[in-house]
Chain A
Amino acid sequence: DGGITQSPKYLFRKEGQNVTLSCEQNLNHDAMYWYRQDPGQGLRLIYYSQIVNDFQKGDIAEGYSVSREKKESFPLTVTSAQKNPTAFYLCASKGLTEGANSFRDEQFFGPGTRLTVL
């Protein structure tokens, strides 16, 4: 089945440690995204990548880093510089879906990772 996987589902980290969240897709999508979700907030964009070996900062990139060495993978590292890392993290990819009369490009989301800093 085609889709987006994120691992792990729950992640605990001690304060001051870096941690990497995994995101893999087998949809052959070029563009991938990382969002952060906090209680009472919508999703906010951290980083995005439109092609392999290229990525751009989103609205809240401070304290995060990414890489895009393969089309299928877009890991997110939460560094110790991120002051408030406890949140729910969602990965997405964008590609074409076939509608009734045309193709439409849409973002598809993974199941998310809940990161808790102890």
Chain B
Amino acid sequence: AQTVTQSQPEMSVQEAETVTLSCTYDTSESDYYLFWYKQPPSRQMILVIRQEAYKQQNATENRFSVNFQKAAKSFSLKISDSQLGDAAMYFCAYRSVTAYSGAGSYQLTFGKGTKLSVIP
């Protein structure tokens, strides 16, 4: 079974600065997807960024980018030019590529989350 670990329960960043959230995972599969989700106080889960494991290039979405280290099974999220609206819980998640892995459901396996505070 896959596991996802977020070792930083809480982090803070000054507005306009850069912050990196860590995520490691454990899997025996060679191909999979990794995601970062944001959960603001409204508790709506919002997809921030995704990475396909077969792609060597790190994904970027505006101010959000990832550092994907497949051999180290590491998937960190970098937020540049932090804004007050970035304050939220951030969850790292793993998903198998095939329907016949694990539960066979394309289910997401989540880490426990990192609470990010942005200081004005």
Contact = CB atoms under 8 A, between A and B. Distances in A.
Interface of A: 31, 33, 40-45, 48, 50, 56, 58-59, 88, 90, 92, 94, 104-109, 111-112
B110 A42 contact: yes
B113 A111 contact: no
Contact of A112 (B4, B43, B108, B112): B43
Interface of B: 4, 9, 42-47, 50, 91, 93, 103-108, 110-113
Nearest to A104: B50
A31 to B, nearest CB: 7
Contacts, number: 55
Nearest to A56: B105
A109 B112 contact: no
B61 to A, nearest CB: 11
A25 to B, nearest CB: 14
Contacts of B93: 42
Closest 9 CB pairs of A and B: A42-B110, A109-B45, A48-B105, A43-B110, A42-B112, A45-B107, A112-B43, A42-B111, A111-B44
Contacts of A92: 45
22 contacts: A31-B105, A40-B112, A42-B93, A42-B113, A43-B45, A44-B110, A45-B108, A48-B105, A48-B107, A50-B105, A56-B104, A58-B105, A59-B103, A90-B45, A92-B45, A105-B106, A106-B50, A109-B44, A109-B46, A111-B42, A111-B44, A112-B44
Contact of B103 (A41, A56, A107): A56
A40 B112 CA distance: 6
Given A109-B44, A112-B44, 19 more contacts: A31-B105, A33-B107, A40-B9, A40-B112, A42-B91, A42-B112, A42-B113, A43-B45, A44-B110, A45-B107, A48-B103, A48-B105, A56-B104, A58-B103, A90-B45, A104-B50, A106-B50, A109-B46, A111-B43
